[in-house]
A and B are shown apart, each in its own frame.
Chain A
Amino acid sequence: MRGGFVLALAVALWWVCPAVAAEVESSCVSCHADEEDEELAAPVEEWRHSVHAEAGVSCDGCHGGNPFEEDEELSMDEDEAGFLGSPSWREQGSFCGSCHGDIRDSYATSVMASVIEEGETVAVCTTCHMPEGHDIRPADTAEILTEDRCSECHDGQRAVALREVLVDLDAEIAHAEHGLEALRGRIDTSSLDREVASLRQRAVVIAHTYDLERISQVADGARARLAGVDETTEALAAESTFRRRLGFGVVLTLSLTAAAAARWKTFYPRRTD
């Protein structure tokens, strides 16, 4: 009997293991990770900590190439594999914008985009999102928009004002998200989630215009909508609490009834035939 259990367990484990081990990496990752040249190997480890890795966007998502091709030459062939390589400083907008189109369009209206063609050195995508390598993360507005950094080209006070508006808006959106997060799994917050996500996306997109007046206008509109979200979140929290209390009552009643049913039969004379 014991042998049967061991056999069953062994077969089940044998069956399960191949699926656990069946994760396939792209040839870009597997080859570059083994590179001796640190400059070629480092991006792999950096990328593993990036928002792109979290979202399942691998090397070929930005640089092209064929991640299923093991041959180095073929995998990075421009014609056969559509390899793009790394963009020049000026090409970054369209390179990243192939996926982040709304942000590219927003950036295109900014004063920075207007002078980029004139050869001016301005902030581009990698300046804020890839400052130290391929560990691409959402930029922290408070760290980036500092008087020191921005005053090299602009009026430093304007950067401070811009930062204040964006940081305040970010905090208010984060507050709304936090409130909804606390209710996750307890009550349906999907419509509010969608609204807050759209507000955050709008804030991110408009931030790339670096236009204080437009950003302030959007921030005011967003605040009004966030106030409505907070109000609804509070109502949902109250509803969730009510449901939990109701749950306590129902579980307690059912448990007591079960105990009573187990005891009640003793009140009847036991008969056996």
Chain B
Amino acid sequence: MSERPEHADGWLDARTGWRRIVRSQLTGYLLPATVNRWYSLGFVLLIFVALQFLTGVLLLIYYVPDARFAFESVQSIANEIPFGWLIRLLHVHGASAMVVVMLLHMLSVVVMGSYKSPRELHWVTGCLLLFVALGLCFTGYVLPWSQLSFWATTVGMNLVGSVPGIGLAIQKAVQGGEVVGPATLGRTFALHIMVLPTAMLALIVTHLYLVRFSGISAPPRLRPVVEARKRHFFPDFVFEDLAVAFSVLAVFAAVLFFRPHLYFPPEAFEPADPFVTPEHVKPEWYFLAPYQVLRWIPNKTLGIALQILAVTAIVLLPFLDRGERVHILRRPLFLASLALVVVALVALTAVGMQ
């Protein structure tokens, strides 16, 4: 009598243990039943990061990281390569969308007090992810080698040079010389496609590990109750995550298709020219607030030092705010400070756009 043939999934399970993984990470993974849709922003963020990686690889096929050909290669991608315009727009708009979702995700974490013990490291790794994302945006801005790239990078590098102590050394190292030039393109290209993406992947893995290790926090309630009810990650939260993700993607697609040049001022269509300074050079929207602060504070080093101090305070938030109260309405001073920061950031960005 011949042996009963083994099914392929059973064969694979015996060698990989995939059924146990699915059970522990999907069907058997339980979350507090009160987890709301704001929690889906993390999933949305993963989609945008994946989109950036995918479109970045596709752009790499045609992009030429050489100051003599970079601008033409990007123009060729946008105007000649079939659907190159779509890939480029997905990458450009995706970068901004990634920052927007990241900021919203962080805001929801702050409002719900999810950074508090024992999840301090979730917050710290999240902040580091934001810095890496901003680094990716900045280095990506250089690559088209347009007037916008060249002069926005010059402004940005001068700001980096104002950092007390190590600023000038970092500026020269990234620029590859005293001023922004062809050497800058090579260095930012290496940072953009290898160093920073690797750092981002490592931080994402760490962040997700920490989330699984400490568990997701339940949204705080005004009146503390013992909430024992749990819901399954799959299918409950997976479908909720998908519903939120597709809604965000629909808005993203609407902006991309109907306002395709939202992030392209006229200087983005002119090749870099070190001898012609455009009339209005501004950094991308997510750098406008710090840029505006530096315009108002006459001493650039003091302005940078103050901002480094502010950013350090934000990163160390869980260690500075160690109170027992979690619900935001129970912490009026914290709520006022948060409102002040948000309003100030929005106002500074709006003024910077003028």
Seen from chain A, the residues whose Cβ lies within 8 Å of a Cβ on chain B are 1, 3-5, 7-9, 11-13, 15-16, 18-20, 56, 185-188, 190, 193, 243-244, 246-248, 250-251, 254-255, 257-259, 261-262, 264-265, 268, 270-273
For the A-B complex, the count of residue pairs with Cβ-Cβ distances under 8 Å equals 132
Closest chain-A Cβ to B222's Cβ sits at a distance in Å of 13
Residues A185 and B260 in contact, CB atoms below 8 Å apart? yes
Task: Report the bound CA distance from A3 to B337 in whole Å.
Answer: 11
Residues B239 and A7 in contact, CB atoms below 8 Å apart? no
Residues B243 and A187 in contact, CB atoms below 8 Å apart? no
Residues B269 and A12 in contact, CB atoms below 8 Å apart? no
Residues A261 and B250 in contact, CB atoms below 8 Å apart? no
Residues B340 and A258 in contact, CB atoms below 8 Å apart? no
Residues B257 and A251 in contact, CB atoms below 8 Å apart? yes
Selected from B33, B235, B239, B249, the residue in CB contact (under 8 A) with A254 is: B249
Nearest residue (CB) in A for B246 is A258
Task: Report the bound CA distance from A149 to B229 in whole Å.
Answer: 91
Closest chain-B Cβ to A27's Cβ sits at a distance in Å of 22
Selected from A13, A18, A186, A264, the residue in CB contact (under 8 A) with B261 is: A186
List, in ascending order, chain A residues with CB within 8 A of B335's CB: 1, 4
Residues B257 and A12 in contact, CB atoms below 8 Å apart? no
Residues B339 and A258 in contact, CB atoms below 8 Å apart? no
Residues B257 and A254 in contact, CB atoms below 8 Å apart? no
Task: Report the bound CA distance from A49 to B30 in whole Å.
Answer: 68
Nearest residue (CB) in B for A264 is B239
| Stretch in B179-187, B313-321, B344-352 with 4+ CB within 8 Å of A | B344-352
Chain B window 65-94, contacts with chain A (Cβ cutoff 8 Å), 1 for yes, 0 for no: 000000000010011000001000000000
Task: Report the bound CA distance from A243 to B344 in whole Å.
Answer: 37
Closest chain-A Cβ to B91's Cβ sits at a distance in Å of 15
Leading 10 A-B pairs by shortest Cβ distance: A4-B336, A247-B257, A190-B269, A258-B246, A265-B239, A8-B340, A261-B242, A254-B250, A262-B243, A261-B243
**Contact A188 to B79, CB < 8 A, known contacts A12-B347, A16-B351:** yes
Interface size classification for chain B: 35 or more
Residues B257 and A246 in contact, CB atoms below 8 Å apart? yes
Residues B247 and A258 in contact, CB atoms below 8 Å apart? yes
Task: Report the bound CA distance from A5 to B343 in whole Å.
Answer: 9
Residues B339 and A4 in contact, CB atoms below 8 Å apart? yes
What are 19 A-B residue pairs whose CB atoms fall within 8 Å in the complex?
A4-B335, A4-B337, A4-B339, A4-B340, A12-B346, A16-B347, A186-B260, A187-B85, A190-B269, A243-B85, A243-B260, A244-B258, A255-B246, A257-B242, A271-B231, A271-B232, A272-B229, A272-B230, A273-B232
Task: Report the bound CA distance from A4 to B337 in whole Å.
Answer: 7
Selected from B240, B247, B257, the residue in CB contact (under 8 A) with A244 is: B257
Task: Report the bound CA distance from A185 to B347 in whole Å.
Answer: 26
Chain A, interface SS category: helix
Closest chain-B Cβ to A168's Cβ sits at a distance in Å of 29
Seen from chain B, the residues whose Cβ lies within 8 Å of a Cβ on chain A are 30, 33, 75, 78-79, 85, 229-232, 235-236, 239-240, 242-247, 249-250, 253-254, 256-261, 266, 269-270, 279, 292, 295-296, 329, 332-333, 335-337, 339-340, 342-344, 346-348, 350-351, 354
List, in ascending order, chain B residues with CB within 8 A of A20's CB: 351, 354
Nearest residue (CB) in A for B232 is A271
Task: Report the bound CA distance from A15 to B347 in whole Å.
Answer: 9
Residues B243 and A258 in contact, CB atoms below 8 Å apart? yes
Task: Report the bound CA distance from A186 to B89 in whole Å.
Answer: 12
Task: Report the bound CA distance from A250 to B279 in whole Å.
Answer: 37
List, in ascending order, chain A residues with CB within 8 A of B347's CB: 12-13, 15-16
Selected from A5, A246, A261, the residue in CB contact (under 8 A) with B246 is: A261
Closest chain-B Cβ to A7's Cβ sits at a distance in Å of 6
Nearest residue (CB) in B for A236 is B79
Closest chain-A Cβ to B78's Cβ sits at a distance in Å of 6
Task: Report the bound CA distance from A200 to B295 in whole Å.
Answer: 38
List, in ascending order, chain B residues with CB within 8 A of A255's CB: 246-247, 250
**Contact A254 to B253, CB < 8 A, known contacts A9-B343, A187-B260, A261-B246:** yes
